[in-house]
Amino acid sequence: KNQVEQSPQSLIILEGKNCTLQCNYTVSPFSNLRWYKQDTGRGPVSLTIMTFSENTKSNGRYTATLDADTKQSSLHITASQLSDSASYICVVSGAGFQKLVFGTGTRLLVSP
């Protein structure tokens, strides 16, 4: 069964600190993996997208890694800001089909 699991479910960190969010997937065959940021009451916004051959990709203070062998990905946030408070969703696209497989998300709260 195609699944995406994320951990932790929720996380509270102090402003300025770093954090890492985890994503494990069982989607096969694999096409690409995306990380989205979703603010409360808004649609998801793409942060990074990685294919099978990519190990890491950065977008400002966000750095995503991918290990296609172990089917794991992480999203590292550096020097967190209050505006980083949101849900972060890991989404995997399988090769040959349009539907995305969504993780349940990690709710991040950055505290002053």
8 A C-beta contact, residue 27 and residue 1: no
Residue 48 vs 65, nearer CB to other proteins:
48
Shortest distance in whole angstroms from residue 66 CB to other proteins: 14
Nearer to other proteins, 61 or 97 (CB): 97
SS3 71: coil
Give 83: exposed, middle or buried? Use CB within 10 Å, 0-12, 13-18, 19+.
exposed
In the complex, the residues that contact other proteins under the rule CB under 8 A are 31-32, 34, 36, 41-46, 49, 51, 89, 93, 98-100, 102-105, 107
Q: Smaller CB distance to other proteins: residue 1 or 99? A: 99
Task: Report CA-CA distances (Å) from 1 to 28, 69, 73, 110, 111.
Answer: 9, 18, 18, 34, 37
> Looking at beta carbons only, is 20 or 51 nearer to other proteins?
51
First to last CA, the chain: 41
Rounded least distance, CB 107 to other proteins, Å: 8
- Please, what is the minimum distance in Å from the beta carbon of residue 81 to other proteins? 21
- Minimum CB separation of residue 58 from other proteins in Å reads 17
